[in-house]
Structure 1
Amino acid sequence: MTGLLLGAAQQVLDSQPFCGLVGARITEFGDGAAVLEIDVREELTQQNGFLHGGVLSYAADNALTFAAGTTLGPAVLTGGFSIQYIRPAAGRTLTARAEVVHTGRRQAVARCDLYIVDDEGAETLCAVAQGTVLSARPT
């Protein structure tokens, strides 16, 4: 069952043209959690060679929303989120791990830890985010 959920989540991600530009993929999805990964490429970096903050923000936004979608259902929208950058992201892969901390009838609150993975596979926390995701179901 989890593989079916993951495949459906990846189809939703693939239907968003911007996701294709950054090369995002869902690697875990279900039970109030989601993991989104992006391989670091030169065109995703800023002038100092670090992964652009907008890419981290995008990853947090989508991971938060996908995690909340596991508890609210598939029709969800970001209500808002905040992100704190801890250190510059330089490495091979960005991993955004989100989990729901509370779900109500029409909204969920989730948090996301963003890690940069180096060539040896070591993870370093580079940002944290928290957000509110809203159900887009008609009332």
Structure 2
Amino acid sequence: MQTLDLSLAQDVLAAQPFSRLLGARMVSFGDGEAVLELDVRDDLRQQHGFVHGGVLSYLADNALTFAAGAAAGANLVTSGLSIDYLRPATGRTLRAHARVVRAGRTRVVCRCDISTVDDAGTETLCAVAQGTIAVV
């Protein structure tokens, strides 16, 4: 199994065309956890001015899978994901913090908290997600 570190995780994220399109950043990785960030832009909003739920789902999906990778290695794919939107996402930055709940031989279950960060640096929880990541 290849040893994964923050630098390699950042390279993997940068190799994903959709992640590059959105401008996602890997800011922390290791010990069964991963933190991704994404700057809020107007083209990521829905008609009411909030960040679109699909953007939050993308961020959860990727953070969950990277957290699983921090525990189980690189050959993984998401096999299931559920997300609950708690409040509209506004602010300057989205931050997804995912952590492993249980790493099995063929499946890794992870949880992710997605927060918005305002100009003062205050985090507000806006969504929670859980995912099952399959070891390929």
TM-score band (shorter)? Answer: over 0.9
Q: CA deviation at 1:26?
A: 0.5
Residue 83 of structure 1 is matched in structure 2 by: 83
1:32 aligned partner, one-letter code = G
Over the matched positions of the two proteins, sequence identity in percent amounts to 62
TM-score of the two chains, using structure 1 as the length reference? 0.94
Task: Report the Cα distance in structure 1 between the residues aligned to 2:119 and 2:71, rounded to whole angstroms.
Answer: 34
Residue 37 of structure 1 and its aligned partner are, at CA, apart by 0.2
Contact 1:91 1:117 in 2 (8 A): yes
Structure 1 residues 109-134: Cα deviation after superposition (integer angstroms, max 9, x where no partner): 00000000011110000000001001
State the SS of the aligned residue for 1:26: strand
User: What's the offset of the Cα at 1:80?
Assistant: 0.6
SS in 1 for 2:7: helix
1:43 alignment counterpart: 43
Cα shift at 1:107: 1.0
| Structure 1 runs (4+) greater than 4 angstroms displaced | none
Partner of 2:34: 34
AA matched with 1:115: S
Q: Residue 15 of structure 1 corresponds to which residue in structure 2?
A: 15
- Structure 1 unaligned blocks of 5 or more: none
Letter in 2 for 1:70: A
User: Deviation of residue 99 (structure 1)?
Assistant: 0.2
Q: Indicate the residue corresponding to 2:110 in structure 1.
A: 110
Name 2:95's counterpart in structure 1.
95
Count matched residues. Answer: 133
Paired with 2:126 and 2:52, the residues of 1 have a C-alpha distance of: 12
Aligned 8 A contact 1:72 1:107 in 2: no
Q: Which runs of 5 or more structure 2 residues have no equivalent in the other structure? A: none
The answer (yes or no) to whether the contact 1:108–1:134 under 8 Å persists in 2 is yes
- The residue type paired with residue 54 of structure 2 is G
SS of the equivalent of 1:49 reads coil
What SS does the aligned partner of 2:5 have?
A: helix
